[in-house]
Chains A and B, each alone.
Chain A
């Protein structure tokens, strides 16, 4: 600040004009960067999603986004209708349906644990698990994606629908480490029970909503 301006009283309009000009300049900078990076950011998000889906559905080569509503299923639009469940249909090179992937989320020890699970319509079971985001304790909670014994729970986790097709025949349950007896139970990681439970709860809530809507419409997905 030079001495001349420090002494004089600055008129109000000069202050407003300065702030206005600086704000306008900053606005132009932000908007041009936003537009300049938009394509790259969208492409990055798409690639990240595809990678995550292909990881839980091995052998998949392409994917499509869908939403499941009470009336059936529809390709995902820019806006997800309220109450709809988003899911991804993964196809192999020949275009045959390889599996379905969907996200589940529940509060863990530190924050929400978001996972992506694969559903295999042929066996009516969950066939893979990936972690989308989590902030659990390193070395403890992150075992949900490093512990092979825990991941083995998700190779064939039974999610058959009940006779009326309105819910899962058996809700997915997380049980204490070493006490898994049934194919719909998840054997928790010893020492990371809270995080294990969050994974189970997230998948159960998502599957209970998605699978009853999905089952009558599987042929539509195969036709694509």
Chain B
């Protein structure tokens, strides 16, 4: 349901929302728990991004499909059950694909249930929009989240282990900055990316109004 007076976004704009204007990592600063915890390597970051995107797209699609029949009193319970279902499915799928990856991601797969991006999208977008628009928006958000995770994961792997995708980059003489794969490194790299992202945004005055950043856990 479009807010009266606001121009309906085209599907392309809807898709780009999550990648640029409302990027979950760099603009909305949502879902920081997995962002900081699993972004120690590029592979982990990408896998976590893909898993979250899958849950995001599937659950928002289902929420959008049943949006007219779910009474508003029980909507949060309904959304959480739906999200938890797709997280369980992703959990089994990852175990079937690779146990090594499953061990590397640890509890953070199950914790997608409480990722605020997903419930946020279900409540703020999917419950008010038709399925196609919802899926396009969810894919953009998922991709934006994956890009954010990858931006952290690749930098942290390069500096913290001297590798990218497990391939050694600098030879045996490189002394890895171990702090980068530890929790403080996650904050350093996130801070640097936020700085860069906001600087890029400010240099583009064409982007009408800056979207205010809201920090959530």
Report which A residues bind B (CB closer than 8 A).
Answer: 1-2, 5-6, 10, 14-15, 18-19, 22-23, 26, 29-30, 33-34, 36-37, 40-41, 44-45, 48, 133, 137-140
Other-chain contact of B85, A1, A10, A26 (Cβ < 8 Å): A26
Are B78 and A44 in contact (CB-based, < 8 A)? no
CB nearest neighbor in B for A14: B71
Are B89 and A29 in contact (CB-based, < 8 A)? yes
Are A29 and B73 in contact (CB-based, < 8 A)? no
CB nearest neighbor in B for A26: B85
**In the assembled complex, which residues on chain A have CB atoms less than 8 Å from the CB atom of B72?**
1, 5-6, 10
Are A26 and B81 in contact (CB-based, < 8 A)? yes
CB nearest neighbor in B for A2: B68
Are B89 and A33 in contact (CB-based, < 8 A)? yes
Known contacts: A10-B71, A133-B103, A138-B181. The answer to whether A22 contacts B89 by CB under 8 A is no
Contact flags B62-94 to A (C-beta < 8 A → 1, else 0)? 000011111111110110011011101100110
> Could you give 15 example pairs across A and B, Cβ below 8 Å?
A5-B72, A15-B71, A18-B74, A18-B78, A19-B74, A19-B77, A22-B81, A29-B89, A30-B88, A34-B92, A37-B92, A37-B95, A41-B95, A44-B98, A139-B176
Report A21 CB to chain B, min CB distance, Å.
9
Report B57 CB to chain A, min CB distance, Å.
15
**In the assembled complex, which residues on chain A have CB atoms less than 8 Å from the CB atom of B207?**
none
**In the assembled complex, which residues on chain A have CB atoms less than 8 Å from the CB atom of B100?**
48
Report B51 CB to chain A, min CB distance, Å.
14
Are B69 and A137 in contact (CB-based, < 8 A)? no
Give the CA-CA distance A34 to B91 in the complex, in Å. 10
**In the assembled complex, which residues on chain B have CB atoms less than 8 Å from the CB atom of A41?**
92, 95-96
Are B82 and A26 in contact (CB-based, < 8 A)? yes
Give the CA-CA distance A1 to B81 in the complex, in Å. 18
Known contacts: A18-B69, A18-B78. The answer to whether A138 contacts B182 by CB under 8 A is yes
